[in-house]
């Protein structure tokens, strides 16, 4: 009788081991699936940045995930104004939204007349001020 009990115990332990391994593999698969969704690059929705210079409006439409605003010609949106720093602000796409961040500019970056002290979400109709230049934001 003891041989039969040991045989049954071996089958029960083997079954529990298979259940445990199946659960571990399933949890790993779920984790990898979630990671795969997060790792996919998000395609940014277009954003239009425009400002009025000497009576003319200069709109630019961007679809890149990161835009630098400043006086430097390496910036994607160049502002020729002495109150604007060389690299004044950064507009970037993350978590399905457009954000703005001040890059330690001399005269500050303001969103709807509030200083930008940390990355802040942008929405259509926002006014972004870099130095003394006011930019209008439209998110498509």
User: Tens digits of per-residue pLDDT, 102-120?
Assistant: 999 999 999 999 999 999 9
Residue 50: CB atoms within 10 Å: 15
If you ran DSSP here, which 8-state letter would residue 28 be given? Answer: H
Q: Rounded to 5 degrees, what are φ and ψ at 126?
A: -70, 150
- Do 52 and 135 form a contact (C-beta atoms < 8 A)? no
Q: How confident is the model at residue 98 (pLDDT cuts 50, 70, 90)?
A: very high
pLDDT digits (tens, 9 = 90+) for 14-66: 999 999 999 999 999 888 887 766 655 667 888 888 887 777 777 888 888 99
Residue 137 has pLDDT above 80, yes or no: yes
The length of the chain, given as a count of residues: 140
Is 0.85 surpassed by the pTM of this model? no
CB atoms within 10 A of CB 72: 14
H or E stretch covering 58: strand 56-62
- What is the average pLDDT score of the chain? 87
Find residue 47's DSSP bridge partners.
62, 139
How do 133-139 and 114-115 pair as beta strands? unpaired
Specify the 3-state DSSP secondary structure of 85.
coil
Would you state the pLDDT for residue 40?
A: 57
How buried is residue 93: exposed, middle or buried, by Cβ count under 10 Å (0-12/13-18/19+)? buried
Residue 138, helix vs strand vs coil: strand
Quickly count: other Cβ atoms within 10 Å of residue 38's Cβ: 7
């Amino acid at each position: 009788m003891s041989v039969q009990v040991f045989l049954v115990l071996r089958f029960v332990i083997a079954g529990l081991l298979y259940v445990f391994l199946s659960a571990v593999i399933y949890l790993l698969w779920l984790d990898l699936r979630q990671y795969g969704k997060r790792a996919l690059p998000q395609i940014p929705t277009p954003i239009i940045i425009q400002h009025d210079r000497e009576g003319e409006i200069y709109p630019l439409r961007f679809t890149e995930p990161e835009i630098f605003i400043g006086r430097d010609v390496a910036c994607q949106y160049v502002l020729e104004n002495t109150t604007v720093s060389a690299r004044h602000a950064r507009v970037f796409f993350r978590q399905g939204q457009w954000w703005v961040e001040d890059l330690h500019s001399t005269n500050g970056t303001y969103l709807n007349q509030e200083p930008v002290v940390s990355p802040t979400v942008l929405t259509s109709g926002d006014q972004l001020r870099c130095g003394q230049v006011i930019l209008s934001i439209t998110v498509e």
